[in-house]
Amino acid sequence: MAHRIGVMGGDGIGPEVVAEGLKVVSAAGVEFETVDYDLGGNRYLRDGTILPDSVVDEWRDLDALYVGAVGTPDVPPGVIERGLLLKMRFDLDLYVNLRPFVLADAGIDFCVVRENTEGAYAGEGGFLRKDTPQEVATQGSVNTRMGVERCVRYAFDLARSRRGHLTLVHKTNVLTFSGDLWERTFAEVTGEYADVETAYNHVDAACIYFVQDPQRYDVIVTDNLFGDILTDLGGAVSGGIGFASSANLNPARTGASMFEPVHGSAPDITGKGIANPTAAILSAAMMLDFLGEDAAADRIRTACADPATQVEGTVAIGDAIAARVG
């Protein structure tokens, strides 16, 4: 049966790269039908719509969501991020943000499993005495045993299916409450995965290893904010953000999972036809993995890794990859 995919091109270069991703999925012989959603910064500026609950309800019944990028410089920070992207992650319970980094020539091949529904992103906090000299702002980090454990378990399962090595990244020497919860949960689950070797890095040390020795990693599991920062660094050391793909997963499959490149809407190059669609195409491959289309996903990854596909221009790159996946 054809997969039903909700498509949100979004803002800036989003629609340009998503078009190439869908072109490649078709070329790989996967049958799908799309439902388009016009949402993002531009839609918000036009009529104030961000993400109606009725749309989230429609999404629950789809097989997957494929997203380009959202955000425009004219909208204040947080409006689209919280109202659209984070709402999507929270409401659909997309509790794993999976971000792979591969640079075969350099021996780099690791995944970051980023907790995607809690931590500093939860929205806990507020102002006191706002706009006075005594103003106070707090922004808490929310860590639940259930939320940490399900994410850690996903990471152990993933490590088991790969090279059998899992590193917890946190800052347990300073974040003694949340770090302790993560550490204890990790230690308890470790007992069930005797075949997986484990390690621990403080997040600052992990930044050094990302730059100097990323080959040491197989799977990393970390909290939401550390994962956000580390995965930009991961992209930078493994071919650039033009290759960084991601999956926002609901492994329990109680709602559609969402697939998008790590990069943003890049308003500076919008409409010029020069954005690299490879990250979006690799995100489509992750979507196909999740939909059980493993063979097509592998063909797409192989084509993306072929230097011959890295030609000039968004459409030309999409065509070069599409020509190799049939």
Q: Give which of Mn ion, ligand IPM, none residue 85 binds (C-beta under 5 to 8 Å, depending on kind).
A: ligand IPM
**Distance between CA atoms of residues 84 and 258, nearest Å:** 13
Nearer to ligand IPM among residue 97 and residue 276 (C-beta): 97
Query: Catalytic annotation on 232?
Result: yes
Sheet containing 197-202, strands listed edge to edge, beginning at the edge strand earlier in sequence: 32-36, 3-10, 64-69, 257-261, 245-249, 96-103, 108-115, 219-222, 165-170, 197-202
Q: What binding mask, one character per residue, do residues 179-218 give for Mn ion by CB under 5 A, x or -?
A: ----------------------------------------
- 96-103/245-249 β-pairing: antiparallel
Name the residue with the smallest CB distance to ligand IPM. 81
- AA letter at 107: G
- Minimum distance from residue 13 beta carbon to ligand IPM (Å): 14
Nearer to ligand IPM among residue 30 and residue 285 (C-beta): 285
Active-site residue, selected from the candidate residues 37, 121, 193, 217: 121
Query: Catalytic annotation on 105?
Result: no
Nearer to ligand IPM among residue 284 and residue 322 (C-beta): 284
Active-site residue, selected from the candidate residues 38, 57, 180, 204: 204
Q: Give which of ligand IPM, Mn ion, none residue 279 binds (C-beta under 5 to 8 Å, depending on kind).
A: none
Query: Catalytic annotation on 74?
Result: no
Find where tokens 């999409």 sit. 318
Q: Give which of ligand IPM, Mn ion, none residue 115 binds (C-beta under 5 to 8 Å, depending on kind).
A: none
Residues 225-254 that bind ligand IPM (CB under 6 A): 228
Q: What binding mask, one character per residue, do residues 256-275 give for ligand IPM by CB under 6 A, x or -?
A: ------x-------------
HSE value, Cβ hemisphere, 13 Å, CA-based, for 313: 6
Query: Catalytic annotation on 209?
Result: no
**Distance between CA atoms of residues 210 and 255, nearest Å:** 33
Asked if residue 107 lies in contact with residue 48, where contact means CB atoms within 8 angstroms, the answer is no
Query: Catalytic annotation on 121?
Result: yes
Considering only 228, 260, 289, 293, the residue that binds Mn ion (CB under 5 A) is 228
Active-site residue, selected from the candidate residues 38, 57, 232, 306: 232
**Distance between CA atoms of residues 261 and 70, nearest Å:** 11
Q: How far is CA 78 from CA 71, 72, 167, 188, in A?
A: 10, 11, 31, 36
8-state DSSP, 9: E
Does residue 282 touch ligand IPM according to CB under 6 A?
A: no
With 0-12 / 13-18 / 19 or more C-beta atoms within 10 angstroms meaning exposed / middle / buried, residue 239 is buried
Count of positions on this chain that bind Mn ion (CB under 5 A): 1
Ramachandran angles phi, psi of 56, nearest 5°: -60, -40
**Distance between CA atoms of residues 219 and 215, nearest Å:** 11
Residues 68-107 that bind ligand IPM (CB under 6 A): 81, 85
Residues within the interface to ligand IPM (CB under 6 A)? 81, 85, 228, 262
- The set of catalytic residues is 121, 171, 204, 228, 232
Site residues for Mn ion per CB under 5 A: 228
